[in-house]
Amino acid sequence: MLLTTPLLPQIDCENFATISPGYVLTKTVALSIDYFTEKGFTGGGGIGYTPGQNKKEQEEVLNVNNNFNIFASVGWRVYRIDYTFSLFVNAGVTMGDQDPAQPFLSTKFLFPIDTKAISFEPAYIFGRGVTGKLSFHFRL
């Protein structure tokens, strides 16, 4: 039954945008703006910040600079249980001041709570590996 549900018509909801502070593994904070359409398309973008670290190598302290990343993605809602759960599949690109542009694929598990929501988004970034993002969405 779950396999056929995405093929069945779903009740449309309205278009809306959210602002989403979040945490990305490992040690990165992010702020994004996401837009969800009534037909199931989603898109968004944001910025991530990873604080610098001090590394000690052969009695010399090296400062690793702070790292800013930007990211953008588009996706599609593949499953929804009204007012309880939504599943999205996304594709996008991320790049930063120390990293070149790298594509990624992700799956977003979204749990609405009134006009807010919580999401967990495991992702695979080509060239970096697996990561995850935990976000709190506030409707604009």
Question: Rounded mean pLDDT of the chain?
Answer: 84
- Domains within the chain, CATH numbers bracketed: 15-51+61-139 (2.40.160.20)
E-strand spans in the chain?
16-24, 28-36, 41-50, 53-57, 60-64, 67-81, 85-96, 102-113, 116-125, 129-139
pLDDT digits (tens, 9 = 90+) for 62-79: 555 668 899 999 999 999
pLDDT digits (tens, 9 = 90+) for 85-138: 999 999 999 998 777 899 999 999 999 988 899 999 999 999 889 999 999 999
